[in-house]
Amino acid sequence: MSLKNDSYPFSQETERIIKTAFDVHNNLGAGFLEIVYKDALEFEFDQLGIKCEREKQYSVTYKGITLPHSFYADFVVFGIIILEIKAKSGIAQEDVAQTLNYLKCSGCKVGLILNFGTSSVEIRRVVF
C-alpha cells in the first residue's frame, strides 16, 4: 500500500518519513516519551540515508529585529520538511499552530506532525 498522494507538496519525501515512523512505532509501540521516538527516528533516518538535522535552531524576527528567544524544530528532513514529534493522546490545534509558525520562520513549506502516543501513528500535514 502506498501512502503517496501526488497532490501533496514533497509527497515522495513525506511518504518516506511516514513509512519510517510506522516502522519505529511497530517496533516500540506507544507509551514512551517523545525523546525515545526522536532517538529511534534519528537512528532510522541515518540507516536509510535520509538527510536530517535534529533540534535545528531558528530565530524569530519581529518588526525587523531578531527576538532573543529562538525555537528548535525537532527535525528538518531533506532540508525542506519540518518534522515535529509528539507522544500524547492526540494532536491538538496548538500543535498545528506551532508547526505553522515554525514553517513561517524557517522558510519551509511543509510540516509533518507525528504522534506516537496512540495505537497507530497519528499524522498531520501542515502546508504553508
Rounded Cα–Cα distance for residues 95 and 1 (Å): 28
As given in the structure block, the three cell numbers for residue 29 are 509501540
The SS3 call for residue 15 is: helix
Q: What residue has cell string 509527497?
A: 11
Confidence of residue 6 (pLDDT cuts 50, 70, 90): low
DSSP for 54-123, please give it.
Answer: EEEEE--EETTEE-S--EEEEEEETTTEEEEEE-SSS--HHHHHHHHHHHHHH--SEEEEEE-SSSS-EE
How sure is the predictor about 1, in pLDDT bands with cuts at 50, 70 and 90?
Answer: very low
Report the pLDDT averaged over residues 86-109. 95
- 6 in a domain, yes or no? no
3-state secondary structure of 39: helix
Instruction: With respect to residue 62, please indicate whether it lies within any of the assigned structural domains.
Output: yes
Cell numbers at residue 101, please?
Answer: 509558525
Over range 43-70, report the average pLDDT. 95
Percent of the chain with pLDDT over 70: 95
For 101, what's the count of Cα atoms within 13 Å in the CB-facing half-sphere? 14
Is residue 86 in a domain? Answer: yes
Report the pLDDT averaged over residues 50-77. Answer: 95
Domain hosting 37: range is 12-127
Say how far apart CA 118 and CA 11 lie, in whole Å.
24
Q: Is residue 3 predicted with pLDDT exceeding 70? A: no
In a domain, 32, yes or no: yes
Q: Is residue 3 domain-resident?
A: no
Instruction: Taking residues 92-110, report their average pLDDT.
Output: 95
This prediction's pTM:
0.91
> Tell me: the pLDDT tens digits for 31-53?
999 999 999 999 999 999 999 99
Tell me, yes or no, whether 66 lies in a domain: yes
Position 25 confidence tier, pLDDT thresholds 50, 70, 90: very high
78: in domain: yes
> What letter does residue 7 receive in the DSSP assignment?
T
Q: How many domains does the chain have?
A: 1
Assess if residue 75 is contained within a domain.
Answer: yes
